[in-house]
Structures are given as C-alpha cells and as structure tokens.
Amino acid sequence: MPIQLLPISLANQIAAGEVIERPASVVKELVENCLDAGASQISVDIEQGGRRRIRVRDNGGGIVKEELGLALSRHATSKIASLSDLEAIQSLGFRGEALASISSVSRLTLTSKTATQEQAWQAWVEGRDMQAELAPASHPEGTTVDAQDLFFNTPARRKFLRTDKTEFAHIDEVLRRIALARFGVRFSLTHNDKIVRQYNAVQEPEHAIKRVAQVCGSSFTDTALGLDEQTGPVRLWGWIAPAHACRHQADVQYFYVNGRMMRDRLLGHAVRQAYGDTLNDERTPSFVLYLELPAEDVDVNVHPAKHEVRFHQARQIHDFVLHCARQALSSARATAATEAEQ
C-alpha cells in the first residue's frame, strides 16, 4: 500500500483506543471537562450501562458558537498554549483529544451557551473528515454532551463491554472518585431515569467528612484518623484508617495529587509502609488523602489517561507521605494505649 494520511475519523478512532476503553472512561473525560469549565452542578444521565446513552450536563462557562467545531477537533484545547503551560498544568484536561475521540466512536452532540450569547448552539460531526455541523438549540448557560450508541462503529471494542450492571458500576466508581476530589460541586447520577446518587455541594470544609461518609461508608469515617501537615509548599491532608479498622478489600484507597485521582505506586507504597507490621497480610490500607504541591513539581503528561504522575523530587515526596501517615497512625495507637490503661 502507498503511504497515505489516515481519514480524520480513523485517526480519531485510533486515539480513542488509548483513552476510551468503556463507558466509564467517557464519563471521566466529560465530567473533568465540566470541572475545568468551572461548573458547580453536574448531572450525569446513563442509559443501559452507558452503551445506549451517556449525557453529561453542567452549568459552567460554556463554549462560544465559533469554537464548538474546534472543541470537537483533535489537538484543539483552550487549556494550554505552550510548553511552559504544559509544565505547570492547572486543569484536568490539556490533550485536546477527548471530545474528538468520543465523537469518533459514538453519536455525539455538543450543546452549549455562554453568558454573553442570546442563543444556544448544538454541534456534531459527520463523515471521514469529521466536518462540524451547527444548529440553533435551546439550553441554559453551560454545556451538555450527549454521547449515544458508544462503539456502534467499532465492533471490536463493543464486544469487550460487560453487562449494563458492571459498566454502570464502573461509572459509579468514577463519580465517587470525582466527588471526593471536588467537595464544592453538586453531582447527580441517574441510570435508566432513576436517581442513583446525589452528592450535595459541601459549603463548609468541616462538613467534607459527610461526603466522605457518603462515598466510603461510615465504617470508614467512624474510625478514620484525620491528618493535615505541611512542609514548605507541600501539604498532605485527609483521612487514614487505623490498622485494626482496615479490611481485606482495597475499596477505600483514594489518593489525589493536586485534585487529580492517582494510582501511583510510589504513594501507595509510602502509605503501606507507614502501617509497618501493624497490618498483616490479610488487610489492606484504607485512606482518602490529598497531596498538594506546586504544579511545576509534578509531571502529569505521563499517560494518556493521566492515572500516573512523575514527581520531580520523588524521594522527598515519598518520605513526606510516609512521615505524615506514620505520625497519624502512631498518635492513634498512643491514644488507644492510654485509654486502655485508664
């Protein structure tokens, strides 16, 4: 075959292969976009485990009519413009790929209205070159992305979808993670028109624990130890369960770096090490922890799905997390020992 440029739709489908694994990946990307747009209310409506429909609506800043087509194109983003922006990323998104990818593997419409516009507009793309079409629409200020019939044109991917129940469980988990990342935002989740979750906005920081209880269960919050430590510009805060309250399942393991949920080996290792041999092989740590550090000290452009980060000072970060977690756990043991003596 001669060398030729791929049709845009096919190039986008290939890109989708990296980040859009299942309905839950779509939900993650769309809800992150709402957060980047400054939304305070986000609703996620799912039909048939997401294979029939994923609709995400927000009350954020919206997209102007002239940029709707661009929003659906690959490598188009409003979040970074230069390498220096990439090196100190503040937003959740920056790759400019999600909407283009999702619209290449579903029937997607993007509807939006900004504060300065009288009229809302709807956009969708069609054909091999994914040309954007536009039509006037009715929509309050904010944005709705409606993605229907996911993987209708990529049967290989569709084949790997599990039951609606399993796919929905993954979506539910994505929303839990995000709910723990943004206490001030109200989230709702429906499945086949039934309300499944409602996370009300937390106005006072001291009420954050209520949302943690809603997401992780009161069995976690009843015993969890609070911690909050800072050294220079680096802060670690959150909750960690004492060894005796830890369970077999690794179901309460949430680690956030600058508001982004991570599955990071280094951080996981530091927390596990803090327990030392107080935790036997049958139990695994439970924690909800938030690490905050200057954006330029961490590289999030490591993995397309952004699950991993690279710390510029990995050793120091590891030791700081270890130190804080160890201190929280040992002060709890000391209290328990004094109470036992009395």
Asked if 8 touches ligand ADP (CB under 6 A), the answer is: no
Residues in the interface with ligand ADP (CB under 6 A) total 22
Question: Which of these segments, 87-95, 138-146, 193-201, 231-239, binds Mg ion (CB under 5 A)?
Answer: 87-95
Contacts of 263 (CB under 8 A, 6+ apart): 255, 307, 308
Task: Between 184 and 276, name the residue whose CB sits nearer to ligand ADP.
Answer: 184
Least distance CB 64 / ligand ADP (angstroms): 10
Query: Quick one: which of 130, 159, 113 has its CA closest to 9?
Result: 130
Least distance CB 99 / Mg ion (angstroms): 7
Asked if 242 touches Mg ion (CB under 5 A), the answer is: no
Asked if 73 touches Mg ion (CB under 5 A), the answer is: no
DSSP state of 40: S
Asked if 225 touches ligand ADP (CB under 6 A), the answer is: no
Asked if 77 touches Mg ion (CB under 5 A), the answer is: no
Asked if 288 touches ligand ADP (CB under 6 A), the answer is: no
Asked if 60 touches Mg ion (CB under 5 A), the answer is: no
Task: Please report the sign of the dihedral spanned by the C-alpha atoms of residue 115, residue 118, residue 120, residue 121.
Answer: negative
Asked if 301 touches ligand ADP (CB under 6 A), the answer is: no
Query: Quick one: which of 22, 117, 32, 24 has its CA closest to 67?
Result: 117
Least distance CB 12 / Mg ion (angstroms): 14
Q: How far apart are CA 285 and CA 130, in angstroms?
A: 47
For the window 16-35, what string marks contact with ligand ADP as x by the rule CB under 6 A? -------------x---xx-
One-character DSSP codes across 237-302:
EEEE--GGG-BSS--SEEEEETTEEE--HHHHHHHHHHHGGGS-TT-B--EEEEEE--GGGEE-TT
Asked if 147 touches ligand ADP (CB under 6 A), the answer is: no
Least distance CB 142 / ligand ADP (angstroms): 7
Report the Cα–Cα distance between both ends of the chain, in Å, rounded: 83
Partnered with residue 120 across adjacent β-strands are 137
Task: Between 17 and 61, name the residue whose CB sits nearer to ligand ADP.
Answer: 61
Backbone torsions φ then ψ of 136, nearest 5 degrees: -65, 150
Within 57-116, the residues that bind ligand ADP by CB under 6 A are 58, 60-63, 71, 77-79, 93-100
Residues that bind ligand ADP (CB under 6 A): 29, 33-34, 37, 58, 60-63, 71, 77-79, 93-100, 143
